[in-house]
Structure 1
């Protein structure tokens, strides 16, 4: 609990930082460590902002009065009022923390409302929790809630749970997203974009998916990023293949075009085509995105034209004969089972055919 504390002038000696004492809130007594913020001790008659680290939890609200008694012998040494019933454990620049708590202690109701909203950052906060933290009268709280939303100080990102986030926190998240995308493009210049799930993994773990999606939507609306299905990229990003990459792309396409329905596995292509392995895999991803190559199974790719040609011949065969066996399909492809079986399964998965027993029929005719 963060609180304002007055140390009685009648005390015979200073109160040392991190002293044990008895905190009385309401009818409850709790043994607590008194952390004096920004000082090592309090002289009799002095006041300070403190954090009580209690040995057991209790229920209290902002504004509640309390009395502090010495641990032993038991006597009243001071008292004050609660400022923040749900604080983080303070560390770092205690001077800034003291100035921050002064806002809660001496500021207006609106100051307190915004203080708590800022404090939770990108974690966001529900209307119910914010009401508890501020302990403001309902009419004043509702007025401040509406004002924050209407003037853009807060963003409502979950209507069902009535959760909001401070606008400056969303600006921080936008910068994190832009930084992550720019770094990704720098490391992967041949990739169209970054997977949305991968981008989400670069964000703080407490950033809720609804808020993440809403911030992405805002960045898209602003023209900063572009979302394409499950991919996200900077609007400024373009695929400009260098001379070496263009040559690698031409060689890979030539190999697959010439191989037809008996293509090499890509690990074999990597061995045949000169250049760095990473660049070749990046070019492969680009060719898959452009639809030049099609993945049929792990490490097995076909040129789109070869697959399209086979698809038309397969449909024609099925329209004439109504069904096809694996042996007939193998004959149709003039390829070994190493290729014909994955191709049969590919046409099943793309809903061209459906398996009935050990044969295939046209899905539309099934």
Structure 2
């Protein structure tokens, strides 16, 4: 990559280094004048005969991680030292090299360098072309190294062509941040079922793949619940209900189990219980949060126990395939409700459409 500033490790003979005001640095066929400055921060990870320096080139050179170079006191003069580049794009503050733990990783081997770039990019992740630009490594060498690092639990590969990955350290941090965000949201909006995934994505400005990985981790750890409507909430979240609302909630659940919610509109239910649209939505959401009811794609509600009974009856049919007519007879549903329910079972992975029939998986 073209750069005028880089961090490098050089050999030193004396305890203290006193660099000439200007030196010549040579990278193979590339050379230019430069200024060298020893890092002020402590670097106990260096060998006794090594020093960490900031190199400020007079003109841009094409330099990569790991490139070796020589330093001369003047053009054609005596060699002062030699070293290798560990960061062709270092962080500078007040004209000093900022010494971070990432520099220690960058001073190591190839895997350590890739891990450092992943951590530097944080939750944005790093792409293969960025590693190639930084290191000059052949692109075909990156995937084997990344797969080895993933086996060690250091990174997660999000894409192979092109290569895209994130450090597990960044993923852990992101999961904690999302969890904290949900906690704040529930505190401010206790009656809401959850937060839209799209809102979380915008809040953290994340690639979809990265957010999906963080949410999958939280779900696997049973810290969050994901809903079909594209909402997520903390697993511990409960929508607050008053005594009267709890009575209505019980009646709604019983109606759902008996199938009455499929025969009457939500507007009729709202009028029957004298509820506002918002309160009815809150009560139905509460039942979904508790996994007591399930909402189908076309909007009608099913009791989870009733749905489980249907699934058990299907699996006890004694055959692998069935028709819509057989399903209607099995459930007592009209075609209006049988078809959406079959589509829901397809989504759940219970059945699969096979021509005019359904196959039990």
2:233 alignment partner in structure 1: 233
Report deviation, 1:2. 1.7
Structure 1 stretches (4+) deviating beyond 6 angstroms? 137-140, 243-246
Report deviation, 1:35. 4.2
1:197 alignment partner in structure 2: 198
1:158 and 2:159 are equivalent in the alignment = yes
Q: Could you say if the C-alpha distance between residues 84 and 174 of structure 1 is closer, same or farther in structure 2, counting changes exceeding 3 Å?
A: same
Report the secondary structure of 1:191's partner residue. Answer: coil
Indicate if the aligned counterparts of 2:146 and 2:157 stay in contact, CA closer than 8 A.
no
Indicate if the aligned counterparts of 1:191 and 1:286 stay in contact, CA closer than 8 A.
no
TM-score relative to the length of structure 2: 0.54
Report the secondary structure of 2:61's partner residue. Answer: coil
1:89 alignment partner in structure 2: 92
Indicate if the aligned counterparts of 1:49 and 1:101 stay in contact, CA closer than 8 A.
no
- Deviations, residues 184-204 of structure 1 (Å, cap 9, x unaligned): 11111111111222222332x
- Deviations, residues 326-357 of structure 1 (Å, cap 9, x unaligned): xxxxxxxxxxxxxxxxxxxxxxxxxxxxxxxx
- Deviations, residues 39-76 of structure 1 (Å, cap 9, x unaligned): 69xxxx9752123344654311222222345699x976
2:175 alignment partner in structure 1: 174
Q: Which structure has the greater CA radius of gyration?
A: 1
1:335 alignment partner in structure 2: none
User: 5 Å matches for 1:1-366?
Assistant: 1-6=6-11, 14-15=18-19, 22-30=24-32, 32=34, 34-38=36-40, 47-54=50-57, 56-68=59-71, 77-89=80-92, 97=100, 100-105=102-107, 107-131=108-132, 133-134=134-135, 142-203=143-204, 205=205, 207-228=206-227, 229-241=229-241, 257=271, 287-288=280-281
1:328 alignment partner in structure 2: none
CA RMSD of aligned residues (A): 4.5
TM-score relative to the length of structure 1: 0.54
1:327 alignment partner in structure 2: none
Indicate if the aligned counterparts of 1:116 and 1:130 stay in contact, CA closer than 8 A.
yes
Report the secondary structure of 1:184's partner residue. Answer: helix
Question: Could you tell which deviates more after superposition, 111-120 or 183-192?
Answer: 111-120
Report deviation, 1:140. 6.7
Distance 2:41 2:223 in 1: 47
Distance 1:108 1:289 in 2: 56
Report deviation, 1:23. 3.9
Distance 1:286 1:197 in 2: 25
Distance 2:187 2:176 in 1: 16
Q: Could you say if the C-alpha distance between residues 32 and 178 of structure 1 is closer, same or farther in structure 2, counting changes exceeding 3 Å?
A: farther
Report deviation, 1:173. 0.6
Report the secondary structure of 2:92's partner residue. Answer: coil
Distance 1:116 1:102 in 2: 12
Indicate if the aligned counterparts of 2:27 and 2:69 stay in contact, CA closer than 8 A.
yes
Structure 2, unpaired ranges of 5+: 1-5, 43-47, 247-266, 286-361
